[in-house]
Structure 1
Amino acid sequence: MKRLLTVLVALAGLLVGAAFALLAWQRGLGDSTPAASAPINLERGAYLAAVGNCAGCHTTRGGSRLAGGRPIPTPFGTAFSSNLTPDVTGLAGWSSDDFWRALHLGISRDGRLLVPAHPITNTTRVTREDADALHAWLQAQPAVAAPRRPHELRWPMNSELGAQLAVAAWRALYFSPGAYRPDPVRDPIWNRGAYLAQGLAHCSACHAGRNALGGDDGPADFRGGLLAGLGWAAPSLHDPAEAGVQRWSDTTLQRWLREGHADGHTAQGPMAEVVLGSTASLDDADLAAMSRYLRSLPEQAVTRPEPARPDARRRERGAGLYREHCAACHGAQGEGRRDDSGALAYPALAGSRLVTQASAANLIRVIERGGFAPATPGNPRPYGMPPFAGLLDAQELAALTSYLRGTFGHDAGEVDAVEVLRLRAASARR
């Protein structure tokens, strides 16, 4: 046992040593200067900040815009976003080179390695020109005093030294810096979409298939998975039965990305925030480019467990709950309901991907917390669904969810009260 411990310690030392050697090499990559000295376009910087939804993570609830402090759940505890305003507690004194190294290498101005809650695998893809425009716009925003809130992370990241060693090791395993390089076999529109989705829009920050260490297969990893500490699942963008859009028309997808609602598909939960804070801001050319890229992703079905044998008593109870709480809006057969203009006001549940996803997490979250599409210029007053968390206990929620996943032609599998409580506990840690 003592010999095994010695070997493990030696291996850990080698890994950390290799991580810091790699880091030293990566630091050299961050010393590049802009290729040209063209004037910085603040309007361009504002657009990039919107596409990247910088305010989404760097604004806490009730706080000043971009002043940081928002809790970001990770597999190792909670990180808190930093202040991006030009105050001494934020980006005051940061040069464009400093900002470039933060985006490209994940290294702060003081040399600290940024915790990977900051999506460095995505921001490293951003070009120097775009980084400079974003930096200039941030420096032009009102300064807000907001000292950095210490992260609340578990061992081995609950100390400054431990966190830096752990992040260095994580980077050695999962991070390779490099701006986006166009694919020569693809056209400029596709490449622009790939640059946006893999870079500033950081789609993989949610839709990657992460392992227990939070590692993924890079910025084009869209396999999907549960979002740590949120109780929501980011469905796979490769599977048309999950969130894949390969079979959607360009028109439908572009409208959905801009308005959050199209052809009966509605953005919910974290994705509603992404539409409101990011994709709704895309100009026509970038909207078309992102649509082209997302529709081109290779199709790959998510592996689903064999559905459990239906519990007849649970399904019967769920049917009664559906008639009592849901049928008035969603229809007796889950067909949905239209408003006086003929538009679909309440979505159909029959055939809904939200209902039949491999994970029932999002369906449970919508029932508990309510369903609210983003209020966008093209859909300023969307219909919403009230939350039922105060009306349904775990057994009732499991019954209703199981009924929905096993009715209207669905065969998506049962949900029990234990699964409901597990998801509630996950979201409570947020």
Structure 2
Amino acid sequence: MTDYSEVIPNTKFMKKTFLSAIGLAALLAAAIVSCQQKPTAAAETGTVAAPTRVELAKRGEHLVNVLGCDDCHSTKTFGPGGPEIDTAHRLAGHLSGAPLPVADTGALKKGWVLFAPDLTAAVGPWGTSYSANLTSDETGIGNWSEAQFIKAIREGKLKGMDNSRPLLPPMPWFNYARLEDNDLKAIYYFLQSTKPVHNVVPPPQPPVSL
């Protein structure tokens, strides 16, 4: 009887060889395309492209949200779920002319610190302080430079000016001072992109006024 094993093709071997050839061809094609592609400017210089102003503002919005800036710098309304941000005056600080309850001086003498119902004003040993307008309006930080904003946060100086008074409690600037420069720039660019709200925040009151 004739042994046909010598003349019948080894299909398994042929299949493996065919697949290997396809794989090799694909690798060669990818290598050729890769060599033909022009490297980007960042790749040529070995540097990472700096974020754009739009990208910084987007990150700044995220930071403003997670750092709780609205807690003190936005007025609140009371809805079904409790306090809600007043979007019409978001980040505009304590509204000019908004009345405050009479401070309980007895509680203050015992060491308590008092807050307004919407958290935009606080009373303590330093007196009465009002949260600032952070919107892009000229009554907010619209006329501030980036350097001013960073100095205000880094050094706790009003309006980022050398001879200005310190930022008052409860502003935790000493914590925010640890943020990276790009994070502070991001917050600045986001605040500059906010809806301007014209609101002249009242000046702080000394403790003797209580």
TM-score, normalised relative to structure 1:
0.27
> Which blocks of at least 5 consecutive residues in structure 1 are unaligned?
1-35, 159-428
Which residue of 99, 113, 138 maps to 2:149? 99
Structure 2 distance, partners of 1:94, 1:151, is 20
Give the structure 1 partner of residue 177 of structure 2: 124
Structure 2 distance, partners of 1:139, 1:147, is 17
Highest relative contact order (Cα 8 Å, sep 6+), 1 or 2? 2
**3-state SS of paired residue (1:101):** helix
The one-letter code of the counterpart of 1:123 is Y
The 8 Å contact of residues 98 and 108 in structure 1, kept in 2 or not, is answered as: no
1:261-340, aligned counterparts within 5 Å? Answer: none
How big is each residue's C-alpha offset from its partner over 1:182-210, in whole Å with a ceiling of 9 and x where there is no partner?
A: xxxxxxxxxxxxxxxxxxxxxxxxxxxxx
> Which blocks of at least 5 consecutive residues in structure 2 are unaligned?
1-48, 78-85, 95-119
The 8 Å contact of residues 103 and 126 in structure 1, kept in 2 or not, is answered as: no
The 8 Å contact of residues 60 and 71 in structure 1, kept in 2 or not, is answered as: no
Structure 2 distance, partners of 1:66, 1:59, is 4
Report the count of equivalent residues.
Answer: 122
Give the structure 2 partner of residue 54 of structure 1: 69
Kindly state the Cα deviation for residue 153 of structure 1 after the two structures are TM-superposed: 2.7
Which has the larger Rg?
A: 2
Structure 2 distance, partners of 1:59, 1:154, is 24
Does 1:79 find its partner at 2:129? yes
Structure 2 distance, partners of 1:143, 1:43, is 18
Give the structure 2 partner of residue 43 of structure 1: 58
Deviates further, 141-150 or 104-113: 104-113
The 8 Å contact of residues 58 and 84 in structure 1, kept in 2 or not, is answered as: yes
How big is each residue's C-alpha offset from its partner over 1:51-86, in whole Å with a ceiling of 9 and x where there is no partner?
A: 111111101235611000111233333210000001
The 8 Å contact of residues 101 and 108 in structure 1, kept in 2 or not, is answered as: no
RMSD: 2.2
Kindly state the Cα deviation for residue 37 of structure 1 after the two structures are TM-superposed: 4.8
The 8 Å contact of residues 136 and 193 in structure 2, kept in 1 or not, is answered as: yes
Does 1:66 find its partner at 2:91? yes
The 8 Å contact of residues 91 and 135 in structure 2, kept in 1 or not, is answered as: yes
The 8 Å contact of residues 101 and 107 in structure 1, kept in 2 or not, is answered as: yes
Does 1:151 find its partner at 2:166? no
TM-score, normalised relative to structure 2:
0.53
The 8 Å contact of residues 129 and 169 in structure 2, kept in 1 or not, is answered as: no
Kindly state the Cα deviation for residue 146 of structure 1 after the two structures are TM-superposed: 0.5
Structure 2 distance, partners of 1:120, 1:151, is 17
